[in-house]
Amino acid sequence: MNYGDCLGCGLCMIGCPAYEEAGSEAHTAKGRNRMLQAGLKAVDMREALDACTLCGYCDAVCPTHVRNVEITLALRRELQGASSLSAPAARPLVLGCTLREKAPRLIPSILDFLKRVGFVGEPESAGCCGAKDVEAGRALPCGPRAGDAEARFPDRAKARVVCDPVCFDQYDADFLGALAVESLQLFELKPPFYYFAPHRLINGRHDEYYPIYHGLREKTGCEMNLDLNRLARSITASAVNPKDVAGAVKRLLAHSKAERIITCSPAEYLAFKEHSGRETLFITECLR
């Protein structure tokens, strides 16, 4: 909760999905940090907390390394009055609610790919994949900023593979898209195509994952979006009313000559498939 380190520089506002939708500084990391510095509590910031998509952009650009995502999660737990940190059982594979509920037809190809690269396990089939567990305090967020949490809570939620970037930073796990790009020999990727890489992954673990996706571009000559034009802003914001997913798709593809769109994010896959007018494939649908 190092919100006191926020200088109010506003860099986090430039790429904040909630700010782009609502136009309110209060919905940004800067706004929340300023409110906390003024003594406001979580209950006074409910709309601003709900609006955050946890995309991690603010953490990626903050010059003083304020842990904005962790702060938002802590305040959401405070709102829910949750304090239990007993983690749910470890799962070998976590698909994500979007995939299970809206695109279950993709699951067989995902399982096929994972078997080919040596992962064996059945997907979690009911309930939330983990994001709500973290927000309610029943699990702990993972990643490089989790501090000594793993030593203190060795039974926290873990998974071998996650298939939805929204859930990725809730687990110590491999991400499906990165696994796929590291196994390009298994895929038929004929250019010209456009690859949409998940922003949460790139923002949260830039040094680790940017080279993997850049390698895809170099090997295939594809067009690529990494983390600047985030389609997720029109899909995952909860309190901010999503404006125009079709418009977001149109902006992203305005200057693209790609004939196909390939993504490893279920939410973006659904948006492109409905609104792009171009062939849209989930990465595992391209298996040879």
Mean pLDDT across the stretch 197-201?
A: 76
pLDDT at 237 (0 to 100): 40
Q: How far apart are CA 15 and CA 28, in angstroms?
A: 10
- Which DSSP state fits 88? P
* Domain co-membership, 53 together with 145: no
Residues 210 and 159 in one domain: no
Verify that 191 and 268 share a domain, yes or no. Answer: yes
What mean pLDDT do residues 226-243 have? Answer: 48
Strand segments, DSSP code E, in the chain are 91-94, 159-162, 174-175, 193-196, 223-225, 260-263, 279-282
Amino acid 41: pLDDT: 92
Does residue 5 have a pLDDT over 90? yes
27 in any annotated domain: yes
**Tens digit of each residue's pLDDT (9 = 90 or more) over 237-263:** 444 445 577 887 888 888 888 899 999
Cα separation values, 198 from 29, 45, 135, 143, 262, Å = 20, 28, 21, 16, 12
CATH number for the domain including 269? 3.40.50
**138 and 230 share a domain?**
no
Nearest CA to 12 among 3, 181, 82? 3
Apex CA 22: angle with CA 225 and CA 244, to 5°? Answer: 55
Could you say which of 177, 207, 234 is where a domain stops? 177
Contact 160, 92 (CB under 8 A): yes
pTM of the model: 0.73
- For residues 24 and 95, membership in a common domain is answered with no
* 62 is a domain residue: yes
Please identify, among 142, 177, 212, the residue that sits at the C-terminal boundary of a domain.
Answer: 177
Let me know if residue 204 belongs to a domain: yes
Mean pLDDT, the chain, integer: 79
Residues 12 and 97 in one domain: no
Helix (H, G, I), strand (E, B) or coil at 273: helix
Same domain, 281 and 196: yes
pLDDT given at position 267: 81
Listed range (12-21, 148-157, 273-282) with the worst mean pLDDT: 148-157
Which of 177, 192, 214 marks a domain boundary? 177
Domain presence at residue 139:
yes
**Residue 106 belongs to a domain:** yes
Same domain, 119 and 147: yes
AA identity, residue 139: A
Per DSSP, the residues of 161-196 read: EES-HHHHTTSS-EEHHHHHHTTGGGB--PSSEEEE
Residue 85 is assigned to a structural domain of this protein = no
Asked if residue 22 and residue 100 are part of one domain, the reply reads no
Tokens 């470890």 sit on residue: 90
Distance CA 70, CA 52 (A): 12
- State how many domains the chain has: 3
Would you say residue 9 has pLDDT above 80?
yes
Q: What is the 3 state secondary structure string of 146-160?
A: CCCHHHHCCCCCCEE
In a domain, 86, yes or no: no
205 three-class SS = coil
**Which strands make up the sheet holding 279-282, listed edge to edge?**
223-225, 193-196, 260-263, 279-282
Q: Do residues 68 and 59 make contact, with C-beta atoms less than 8 angstroms apart? A: yes
Co-location of 223 and 269 in the same domain: yes
pLDDT exceeds 70 at position 236: no
Do residues 216 and 231 make contact, with C-beta atoms less than 8 angstroms apart?
no
- Given the structure tokens 């973290």, which residue do they identify? 134
Supply the range of the domain harboring residue 23: 3-80
Quick one: 131 and 59 in the same domain? no
Judged against a pLDDT cut of 70, whether residue 139 lies above it is answered with no
Indicate if 194 and 281 belong to the same structural domain: yes
Q: What is the pLDDT of residues 41-97, one digit of tens each?
A: 999 998 888 888 777 888 888 999 999 988 988 888 888 765 444 555 556 788 877
Residue 160 has pLDDT above 90, yes or no: no
- At residue 40, does pLDDT exceed 90? yes
- What's the CATH code of the domain at 68? 1.10.1060.10
